[in-house]
Amino acid sequence: MAACGGGNDQPTAQPVAKPVVIAAPASEASAPVAASSPAASVPVASEAVASGPVEASAPVVASDPVPPRTVQIDVYGDDSMMGLTAMNYGMATITQNSEPNVSQKILRAQFPGVTIVNRASGGRASTLVNMMVGMDGGGPPFAQRIASSKAQIVLLNHAINDDLSQSLAPYTDALIQWIQDARNAGKVPVFEEPNPVCDGDHPHLENYVATMNNIAIGYNVPVIHQYQEILNLQDWKTHMWNCFLPDEYLLSFKAQRQAEALVPIVKAALGE
């Protein structure tokens, strides 16, 4: 039998047949018989022993875990998406439990490689129209920002400040251009409706929400619905600072809806 360690070229021992002794006739029984040499021992096949050392099996080493596949989501929006929850004497309160941060925690329970990058900017200049031309305080024109981004998915949540700044016509044009810029950069565009406000300074916000949804249908863009769902909450106004900025309760509500809507989009990005 060959040794399991290999490397031994000696032939395997073969069994040798024992000589057969023929009895002499009776008439020859009295003849002296010469003393014979002791017979050499004959190896038996079943007792053959392989020569050469047997190598021990190498220890099994666990391989490094495969890192999760990654998906980056860039989020653009205004104060509420940035996580601003109050403004007191010119000092802004920005929570760590912003909508993108909470949404990321929810998504990572299912997709460990998901990262949400919050690129929202605050102030009244933070509008969709301003962002498209680089006047929102968040960087160069949007086409340049998104072209250099590593994100696979890009999300838009602009409307509240646009209601203050311009009519629906430039907002509509900006929505269409935003979709085209995102797709030209190889990204999946996603709309998210704004939350409602009750400060009396945004009387046409519902029309901006309707415009967003109409554009989404025409250009086949997913929409994360927030506006009517928050209006359906009986106490939603009590969770608004100055009837304008949502508190952490409403941000968490929005984050849950955002994460749920992003699940199939993330799966598609991962090829699942």
Which residues, including other chains, have CB under 8 Å from residue 202's CB and lie 6 or more apart?
Answer: 160, 163, 164
Q: Given this model, what pLDDT does residue 68 score?
A: 74
Domains of the chain by range and CATH?
A: 80-270 (3.40.50.1110)
CA–CA distance from 12 to each of 9, 50, 63 (Å)? 9, 8, 39
Q: Given this model, what pLDDT does residue 172 score?
A: 97
Q: Model-level pTM?
A: 0.76
Q: Given this model, what pLDDT does residue 64 score?
A: 65
SS3 content of the chain, % helix, strand, coil (to 5): 35, 15, 50
Q: Given this model, what pLDDT does residue 31 score?
A: 42
pLDDT in tens, the chain (272 residues): 444 444 444 444 444 444 444 344 444 444 444 444 444 444 444 444 445 555 555 555 556 666 679 999 999 999 999 999 998 877 889 999 999 999 999 999 999 999 999 999 999 999 999 999 999 999 999 999 999 999 999 999 999 999 987 789 999 999 999 999 999 999 999 999 999 999 999 999 999 999 999 999 999 999 999 999 999 999 999 999 999 999 999 999 999 999 999 999 999 999 98
Describe the strand order of the beta sheet including 71-77 as a list of residue ranges: 114-118, 71-77, 153-157, 188-192, 223-224
CB atoms within 10 A of CB 88: 8
Which residues, including other chains, have CB under 8 Å from residue 26's CB and lie 6 or more apart?
Answer: none
Q: Given this model, what pLDDT does residue 154 score?
A: 98
Q: How far apart are CA 179 and CA 38, in angstroms?
A: 102
Q: Which residues pair with 154 in a beta bridge?
A: 74, 189
Q: Given this model, what pLDDT does residue 65 score?
A: 67
